[in-house]
Structure 1
Amino acid sequence: MPAAPPPPRKPNFAWSLLRNSWRQLTSMRTALVLLFLLAVAAIPGSVLPQRAVSPEKVTAYYTQHPDLAPKLEQIGGFAVYASPWFAAIYLLLFTSLVGCVVPRLRDHFRALRTVPPDAPKRLERLPQHAVVEERADDPAEAAQAAASELRKRRFRTRVREQGDGSWTVSAEKGYLKETGNLFFHFALLTVLVGVGFGHWYGWHGNRILVEGNDQGFCNSVTQYDESSLGPRVDAADLPFFCLRLTDFQAAYQTTGQPKSFDADVEVQTKQDGPWKARHFTVNNPLRLSQANVHLLGHGYAVELRYTDRFGAQQTKVVPFLPTDGLFTSSGVGSFPDVNIDPKTNKRDVNLQVGFEGVFVPTVDPAGGATSVFPAENNPALFLTAYRGDLGVEVGNPGSVYSLDQGQIANGELKKVSGDRPQRLTPGQSWTLDDGTKVEFLATRPFATLAVRYDPTATLVLAGAVVGLLGLMLSLGGHRRRLWFRISPRDGSGSLMEAGGLPRTDYPGFAEEFGQIVGAARGPDGGTP
């Protein structure tokens, strides 16, 4: 008695779901959708200011949009490329490309090693078909002549003898199209890998560098206004170099639009080494051995000197951040270590002084603290004085470009300058109600610098170049196959039949097919 057949296996739902999900993820359609999503996700990074590139613009955005900015901060709008949702799209795209390219590479390698298939029995059913009724040579010679002509045109050919005495020639061309496709996808993977490793092992820092030898800085995390190190980078790994801004030139059109920015700096690359003069511009960064220094923007720093009630003086150079395209700029000069009694050497925290100010490089003749041109044609500084506890000893983080509004709100910091700001021009001074004095000495230009190191920048560039070449090959290549069947005729000579099949959309295939058939007819031409 035969054994009963085994019961049918129950489908594993979890395995089926996982397999189908993987197939969907590694399909070309999904890869294209993810690539499109990555491009769309990068748009906010181009529209919104990014903290990693320009923190001062983020601060200005908070000032201009106090309600919208916190909501954008919650979803990573000011750090798009470090947000979880951008990383998720990035990793899904990488996985999809790997799962898509590896099988295609295997199939392409197999196709390159496979000889062209033999001619189909009925060539007249192909999109292109032609018959040469009479040829003077025998079938073997005619087949070799046709194969030789096809090889001249860089076709892969195979000549076969059939059992009925006829000969066939199979030819194929256009593998560069798939090769270009694979190059493009591998280049895209290279770019993704390069960006990822560049994030791990790279670092960057932003710094506002004011002109003057007393305002230089060295490459240290503590000396950057904002910095970010890759997960594989420690502060001790940063290379040594120091910079100081010696000159800055800005040129503008008559409309106030910027024309050119040029920065002259001195660079020290070794401890106690010589300082070397260098020059760079917006589109031509300063290239050091392990970092590039990019010029992002510029502005004006105000030099203030404060004389306290005991005659002691302090001088500070304070960068003022632009708030519009004509460089109306705002900033704060804080003097917490003033009014120290020389007899007791004690300081009263309630006698600290701060100045909120608006600097205008070219003041509006009609009045008001607004600029009408970005160059210093008629500079003016509008100051508002505050006296009291600045709140710097509390330990709470705060902005160096504004006073602590909490201290003003609770009365710890009081305005002492009246209702209207005091207008000063370079060289003028202002005496406060307690006999102390603030002087507007001069202005200095400053440059906003982005110092960056990306160890995979060359790899990403190579990937981009290879991707462009692969795209050109993919668009320019056309896969097609041709066949010739040469049959012997009664008596002497042979009959040639040709057929062609384009594997991809190729409008010029009919013309190419006609040229090849015409050349394969031989010097006698035959009778079509």
Structure 2
Amino acid sequence: MTIVEERPATAEVPPPRRPNPLWTLLRNSWRQLTSMRTALVLLFLLAVAAIPGSYFPQYAVNRERVSQYYTAHPQLAPWVERLGGFDVFASPWFAAIYLLLFTSLIGCVLPRLRDHVRALRTVPPDAPKRMDRLPQHAPATARPEDPAAAAESLARMLRRKMFRTRVVELPDGGFSVAAEKGYLKETGNLLFHFALLAVLIGVGFGHWYGWHGNRLLVAGADQGFCNSITQYDDSALGPRVTAADLPKFCLRMTDFEATYQSTGQAKSFLATVEVKEGSGAYRKASFTVNDPLRLHHANVHLIGQGYAPVLRYTDRYGVSQEKVVAFLPVDGMQTSEGVAQFPDVNIDPATNKRDDQLQVGFEGVYLPTGGTDGSATSKFPAENNPVLYLAAYRGNLGLDVGKTGSVYALDRGQINSGALKKVSGERPYVLRPGETLTLDDGTKLEFVGTRQFATLSIRYDPTQSLLLVGAVLGLIGLMLSLFGHRRRVWFRVLPANGQETGGSVIEAGGLPRTDYPGFAAEFAALTRPAAEDGHAEEGTP
């Protein structure tokens, strides 16, 4: 008979599973993105990315300044435009940093919030067996009380000092008193980050549902405007806002007062207006630079001021036109530049036709306080000696071709091509209020006077309150995070000589959970009563 030896079958060990490389990449990328270090880097990048928004003029603030930048830097401006430098806060790269920071903060804060809630619900741990190894240690001290009374006295003292305290009876008849304090540090840290999230949410929703517009408003009942996109010099609506969503109100400026120091530095500005909201009646209101006019779903801010000369032109047929033209300040003394254009003049009454080659434009400088030296620079921003220097041009102003241009300067292309010719000679005309000049063709221009104008910024941000609350809570959270220190203190209370009655022996230890230079002094104050008196009195610090 043949005996066949049976060998035990060996189980085949499956090869280790290789992790999915795509899943590993996504997991590691998420961990890196949601780390606190990455959040700090993104916050720093967001601050750096906002610098071009304060250095370059922005379309959302003042389109005219962007046009001036193109004129002053014709080579650099197109590159700034391509990189989004004139609309920084709506550029794709700024939005990418913003969204990454938002995602990083959420992924960083939510796990920490979960861990903090778990820590708040967890009782302080028992005292370690070898408290002499702790950073702070108080040797055993005899007390006349029994262990239960001594432990309760220590617990009351710690609770008065705002420690979370836990008393546990030990198997050998002793007691462990565990106390912990300083949870507000992590609470403040989380509060700061949630406040930062609130600010980011407020900025995002404010961009979506907010709007703003700028308007140069000249004093006078005939110069008022109503809240409409077409009546703004420049405006921007949020992606979720349409022109029909704008609140209905009308505004006209009745007076503007400006005071200056002897050096010419501005002291105060006060705009007095009449405002009508909805179908209501006009009411008077005043506002200053730091105190805007608050309307329903709109705030009117005063951001600038200047002078608007009033000019009356009488053409060769005796027909007069009067215009109020704002001259923009170019320095702190209100030296102002501007242009007055009269395209619809010199119309032949017999044929009722206009000759485009007889249009008239005046370009010049207005000085509120002209000097005796004849220089085209104002000596003081108030109107002490108003002077208007003008250069006259006749020809085609180029306003009928539909090409956009500045309303504060004549079309240089028309001048260079010869379509618009200078008729005032080499020296400009000099006019003071009430004076009239006569051109070579017999037409006249009278400098009637001036009016003041105010540059207004009308804005609405539905999340303004959220931003304020977020900023306040962020400051509170930062203070709590900086001044809070988490630490633990333990007391082990044992019967004297191993007996449950007849006194007790107390040993103490302390552990700072964070860097806290003052913990040694605090620990000494907590353990001093047992070391000095042998008993803990009520109210002993």
For the aligned pair, the TM-score class normalised by the smaller chain equals over 0.9
- Taking the aligned partners of 1:52 and 1:118, their CA distance within structure 2 comes to 61
- Equivalent runs, 1:203-352 vs 2, <5 Å: 203-271=211-279, 273-352=280-359
**Equivalent position amino acid for 1:220 in 2:** S
Q: CA deviation at 1:278?
A: 0.5
- 5+ long unaligned stretches in structure 2: 1-8, 537-541
Partner of 1:97: helix, strand, or coil?
Answer: helix
Aligned position for 1:451: 458
More off after superposition, 59-68 vs 5-14: 59-68
The 1:75–1:257 alpha-carbon spacing in structure 2 relative to 1, beyond 3 Å, is farther
Tell me whether 1:16 sits opposite 2:33 in the alignment.
no
- Taking the aligned partners of 1:410 and 1:434, their CA distance within structure 2 comes to 22
**Equivalent position amino acid for 1:515 in 2:** A
Contact 1:60-1:323 at 8 Å conserved across structures: no
- Taking the aligned partners of 1:73 and 1:113, their CA distance within structure 2 comes to 55
C-alpha deviations, 1:386-437, integer Å up to 9, x for none?
A: 1111111111111111111222222222222212221111111221121111
Q: CA deviation at 1:275?
A: 1.3
- Taking the aligned partners of 2:421 and 2:17, their CA distance within structure 1 comes to 82
- Taking the aligned partners of 1:50 and 1:270, their CA distance within structure 2 comes to 31
Tell me whether 1:474 sits opposite 2:484 in the alignment.
no
**Equivalent position amino acid for 1:113 in 2:** R
Contact 1:56-1:321 at 8 Å conserved across structures: no
Tell me whether 1:98 sits opposite 2:106 in the alignment.
yes
Contact 1:149-1:520 at 8 Å conserved across structures: no
Q: CA deviation at 1:520?
A: 5.3
- Taking the aligned partners of 2:261 and 2:59, their CA distance within structure 1 comes to 29
The 1:288–1:45 alpha-carbon spacing in structure 2 relative to 1, beyond 3 Å, is same
Partner of 1:471: helix, strand, or coil?
Answer: helix
Partner of 1:344: helix, strand, or coil?
Answer: coil
Aligned position for 1:421: 428
Contact 1:145-1:520 at 8 Å conserved across structures: no
The 1:405–1:131 alpha-carbon spacing in structure 2 relative to 1, beyond 3 Å, is same
Q: CA deviation at 1:50?
A: 3.2
Aligned position for 2:96: 88
Q: CA deviation at 1:383?
A: 1.1
Match of 2:161 among 153, 156, 171: 153
Aligned position for 2:194: 186
- Taking the aligned partners of 1:329 and 1:70, their CA distance within structure 2 comes to 28
Tell me whether 1:125 sits opposite 2:133 in the alignment.
yes
Match of 1:109 among 106, 117, 127: 117
**Equivalent position amino acid for 2:244 in 1:** A
C-alpha deviations, 1:49-100, integer Å up to 9, x for none?
A: 4332344444454555555444434333333322222222211111111111
The 1:226–1:87 alpha-carbon spacing in structure 2 relative to 1, beyond 3 Å, is same
Aligned position for 1:356: 363
Partner of 1:265: helix, strand, or coil?
Answer: strand
- 5+ long unaligned stretches in structure 1: none
Match of 1:34 among 42, 45, 50: 42
Partner of 1:382: helix, strand, or coil?
Answer: strand
Tell me whether 1:508 sits opposite 2:515 in the alignment.
no
More off after superposition, 350-359 vs 157-166: 157-166
The 1:368–1:164 alpha-carbon spacing in structure 2 relative to 1, beyond 3 Å, is same
**Equivalent position amino acid for 2:437 in 1:** W
Contact 1:154-1:173 at 8 Å conserved across structures: yes
Tell me whether 1:367 sits opposite 2:377 in the alignment.
no
Partner of 1:463: helix, strand, or coil?
Answer: helix
The 1:55–1:205 alpha-carbon spacing in structure 2 relative to 1, beyond 3 Å, is same
- Taking the aligned partners of 1:166 and 1:68, their CA distance within structure 2 comes to 80
Aligned position for 1:518: 528
Percent sequence identity over aligned pairs? 69
C-alpha deviations, 1:499-526, integer Å up to 9, x for none?
A: 0001111121111111111245696449
Match of 2:409 among 402, 412, 430: 402
Contact 2:144-2:535 at 8 Å conserved across structures: no
C-alpha deviations, 1:295-314, integer Å up to 9, x for none?
A: 00101111111111111111
Contact 1:280-1:286 at 8 Å conserved across structures: yes
The 1:427–1:326 alpha-carbon spacing in structure 2 relative to 1, beyond 3 Å, is same
- Taking the aligned partners of 1:382 and 1:401, their CA distance within structure 2 comes to 15
Aligned position for 2:386: 379
C-alpha deviations, 1:191-211, integer Å up to 9, x for none?
A: 110111111111111000001
Contact 1:387-1:413 at 8 Å conserved across structures: yes
Partner of 2:142: helix, strand, or coil?
Answer: strand
- Taking the aligned partners of 2:283 and 2:524, their CA distance within structure 1 comes to 69
Contact 1:184-1:470 at 8 Å conserved across structures: yes
**Equivalent position amino acid for 1:495 in 2:** V
Contact 2:142-2:534 at 8 Å conserved across structures: no
C-alpha deviations, 1:255-312, integer Å up to 9, x for none?
A: 11111111111111133x3211111100010111211000001011111111111111
Q: CA deviation at 1:135?
A: 1.4
**Equivalent position amino acid for 1:383 in 2:** L
Aligned position for 1:496: 506
Tell me whether 1:433 sits opposite 2:443 in the alignment.
no
Q: CA deviation at 1:13?
A: 2.6
Tell me whether 1:196 sits opposite 2:215 in the alignment.
no
**Equivalent position amino acid for 1:510 in 2:** A
- Equivalent runs, 1:65-84 vs 2, <5 Å: 65-84=73-92
Partner of 1:111: helix, strand, or coil?
Answer: helix
Partner of 1:495: helix, strand, or coil?
Answer: strand
Answer with 1 or 2: which has the greater Rg: 2
TM-score scaled to structure 2, two decimals? 0.93
Q: CA deviation at 1:231?
A: 0.6
**Equivalent position amino acid for 1:396 in 2:** K
Contact 2:141-2:534 at 8 Å conserved across structures: no
Match of 1:486 among 487, 490, 493: 493
**Equivalent position amino acid for 2:271 in 1:** A
Aligned position for 1:411: 418
- Taking the aligned partners of 1:75 and 1:239, their CA distance within structure 2 comes to 34
Partner of 1:470: helix, strand, or coil?
Answer: helix
More off after superposition, 59-68 vs 299-308: 59-68
**Equivalent position amino acid for 2:296 in 1:** S
More off after superposition, 445-454 vs 407-416: 407-416
The 1:66–1:301 alpha-carbon spacing in structure 2 relative to 1, beyond 3 Å, is farther
- Taking the aligned partners of 2:24 and 2:145, their CA distance within structure 1 comes to 61
Aligned position for 1:176: 184
- Taking the aligned partners of 1:196 and 1:514, their CA distance within structure 2 comes to 51
Partner of 1:192: helix, strand, or coil?
Answer: helix
More off after superposition, 332-341 vs 75-84: 75-84
